Chain A
Amino acid sequence: SAVISQKPSRDICQRGTSLTIQCQVDSQVTMMFWYRQQPGQSLTLIATANQGSEATYESGFVIDKFPISRPNLTFSTLTVSNMSPEDSSIYLCSVVGQGRGTDTQYFGPGTRLTVL
């Protein structure tokens, strides 16, 4: 499976500021996704990061709040804008495996965000 890294691994931010999270994969992948996991909760899909076009957002998530970039097949960023304490979560990127692993999502290590 692909090796996925995320930066930063954790951060503490002040309300009203923005944070950009990076997701890097060691091989080209077709599908990349961003998830949010609020404390003690399950994972919620934020959006599908599309290479060369605008991300596809799930219901309840908007581009102004969570702008996403995907300049190539190995890299994506998620920005959490104008943060509030409710944005405190773990943010995870995932990629779909290749070959036999198609349809299986592999996750990055996550970014643990605390907003004060």
Chain B
Amino acid sequence: AQKVTQAQTEISVVEKEDVTLDCVYETRDTTYYLFWYKQPPSGELVFLIRRNSFDEQNEISGRYSWNFQKSTSSFNFTITASQVVDSAVYFCALSVPGTYKYIFGTGTRLKVLA
């Protein structure tokens, strides 16, 4: 069975702090995709990144970085120098290519305080 676990329900940080959101997944498939989405208070789900299971390179995009480790089945997301605008619920998701079915984690609510 496939499963995505986001153990952190809610995190609060002060602006400019770094914060890491954890994502642990389970799957028996050798080929899969991992995703992160951001859901601000407006409700829209914003795509952040997709990672192929064959590509374990870490990725950096501005203040965002992602650490994918197959050995620990984790796909963690770090925000450097957090800002108030980063306050949102962040979802990690897993899918198997061609199925279009996403397994979502329960989300982590990030509050960045000014």
Taking A42-B105, A104-B50 as contacts, is the C-beta distance between A33 and B42 under 8 angstroms? no
A12: interface (CB < 8 Å): no
Instruction: Give B contacts to A, CB under 8 Å.
Output: 33, 35, 37, 42-47, 50, 91, 95, 97-98, 100-102, 104-107
Taking A42-B91, A103-B33, A103-B100 as contacts, is the C-beta distance between A90 and B43 under 8 angstroms? yes
Which of B91, B97, B100 is within 8 Å of A33, CB to CB? Answer: B100
A73: interface (CB < 8 Å): no
Total A-B residue pairs with C-beta atoms closer than 8 Å? 48
Q: Which residue of A lies closest to B105 (CB)?
A: A42
| A interface residues, tally (CB under 8 Å) | 21
Which of A45, A94, A103, A110 is within 8 Å of B43, CB to CB? Answer: A110
A105: interface (CB < 8 Å): yes
B50 to A43, Cβ gap below 8 A? no
A67: interface (CB < 8 Å): no
Contacts of A106 in B (CB 8 A): 47
A75: interface (CB < 8 Å): no
Give residues 60-90 of A contacting B (CB, 8 Å). 90
Q: Which residue of B lies closest to A58 (CB)?
A: B101
| Supplied contacts A42-B107, A106-B47, 11 more A-B pairs, CB within 8 Å | A1-B47, A42-B106, A43-B91, A43-B102, A45-B101, A94-B45, A103-B95, A103-B97, A107-B37, A107-B47, A109-B44
A22: interface (CB < 8 Å): no
Q: How far is B106's CA from A24's CA once the two chains are assembled, in angstroms? A: 27
Contacts of B101 in A (CB 8 A): 45
Q: How far is B97's CA from A104's CA once the two chains are assembled, in angstroms? A: 10
Shortest Cβ distance from A73 into chain B, in angstroms? 15
